[in-house]
Amino acid sequence: MDERRNFIRLLGGGVVVAAGAAALATWWLNSDMPAAALEIWNGPGDEPDARKRAVAYAVTAPTAYNRQPWLVDLREPDAIVLYCDRERVQPETDPYGRQIIIGHGAFIELLVMALAQQGLQASVQLWPQGELSGEPRLWPHVPVARLRLAGGGVPDPLFAQVLRRRTPKQRFDLTRPVSADILQGLTSIASAGGMVNSAGTVDMARVQPLRKLCAAAARVELTTPGTAMENLQLLRVGPQEILAHRDGFSINDPALRIAVALGQFDRRAPASEDSLSFRRTLQLFEDQANTAMGFVWLSTRGNSRTEQIAAGRAYMRQQLRATDLGLGMHPMSQPLEEFAEMAPHRAAAHDMLLGSAFQGGAQGPTVQMICRLGYPMAPVPAAPRRALPGFMMA
Ligand X SMILES: Cc1cc2nc3c(=O)[nH]c(=O)nc-3n(C[C@H](O)[C@H](O)[C@H](O)COP(=O)(O)O)c2cc1C
Q: CB within 8 A of 215, min separation 6: which ones? A: 285, 286, 289, 290
DSSP alpha helices (H): ranges in the chain? 2-29, 50-58, 98-117, 180-191, 204-223, 225-233, 238-245, 254-261, 276-290, 305-325, 343-354
**321, 331 Cβ separation under 8 angstroms:** no
**Residue 90 interacts with ligand X (CB under 6 A): yes or no:** no
Residue 155: name the closest of 189, 113, 109 by CA.
113
The answer to the question of residue 219 lying near ligand X (CB under 6 A) is no
- List all residues 6 or more positions away from 177 whose beta carbon is below 8 Å from its beta carbon: 202, 293, 294
Site for ligand X in 272-331 (CB under 6 A): 331
> How far does the chain reach from its first CA to its final CA, in angstroms?
64
Mention every residue, 6+ apart, whose C-beta is less than 8 A from residue 238.
28, 251, 252, 256, 257, 260
With CB under 6 A as the rule, give the number of residues binding ligand X.
16
Nearest to 292 by CA among 204, 189, 167, 182: 204
Residues 359-388 that bind ligand X (CB under 6 A): 383
Q: Report, in Å, the least distance between residue 194 CB and ligand X.
A: 21
In 3D space, the residue among 97, 90, 44 whose CA is nearest the CA of residue 67 turns out to be 90
Residues in the chain: 394
Phi-psi domain of 141 (left: phi exceeds 0; alpha: psi -120 through 50; beta: other): beta
The dihedral built from the CA positions of residue 248, 249, 252 and 255, taken in this order, carries a sign that is negative
* Residue ranges in 123-152 that form contacts with ligand X under rule CB under 6 A: none
Stretch that binds ligand X, among 115-123, 137-145, 162-170, 184-192 (CB under 6 A): 162-170
- In the complex, what is the shortest distance from the CB of residue 66 to ligand X, in angstroms, rounded to a whole number? 3
Of 35 and 154, which has the nearer Cβ to ligand X? 35
Query: Least Å distance between CB 120 and ligand X?
Result: 24
In sequence order, which residues have a C-beta less than 8 Å from that of residue 110 and are 6 or more positions away?
A: 57, 58, 60, 61, 162, 316
CB of 60 or CB of 149, closer to ligand X: 60
- Minimum Å gap between C-beta 312 and ligand X is 7
**Is there binding between residue 169 and ligand X (CB under 6 A)?**
yes
The pairing of strands 235-237 and 249-251 is parallel
Q: Is residue 167 close enough to count as binding ligand X by CB under 6 A?
A: yes
Nearer to ligand X, 153 or 318 (CB): 318
349 binding ligand X? (CB under 6 A):
no
Strands of the sheet containing 294-300, edge to edge, are 196-201, 294-300, 366-374, 328-331
**Shortest gap between Cβ of 75 and ligand X (angstroms)?**
28
Stretch that binds ligand X, among 8-16, 28-36, 96-104, 229-237 (CB under 6 A): 96-104
- List 55, 59, 80, 102, residue binding ligand X (CB under 6 A): 102
Q: How many CB atoms lie within 10 A of CB 282?
A: 18
Does the footprint of ligand X cover residue 166 (CB under 6 A)?
yes
Closest to ligand X by CB, 131 or 287: 287
Which residue's Cβ lies closest to ligand X? 62
* Minimal distance, residue 352 CB to ligand X, in Å: 17
Residues 50-79, interacting with ligand X (CB under 6 A): 62-64, 66
The CB-of-99 to ligand X minimum distance in angstroms stands at: 4
CA–CA separation, 161 and 114 (whole Å): 12
Residue 196 engages ligand X in binding (rule: CB under 6 A): no
What's the min distance (Å) between Cβ of 89 and ligand X? 13
Our CB check for ligand X shows the closer of 116 and 218 to be 218
What is the nearest approach in angstroms of ligand X to the Cβ of residue 353? 15
Interface positions with ligand X (CB under 6 A): 62-64, 66, 99, 102-103, 106, 166-167, 169, 331-334, 383
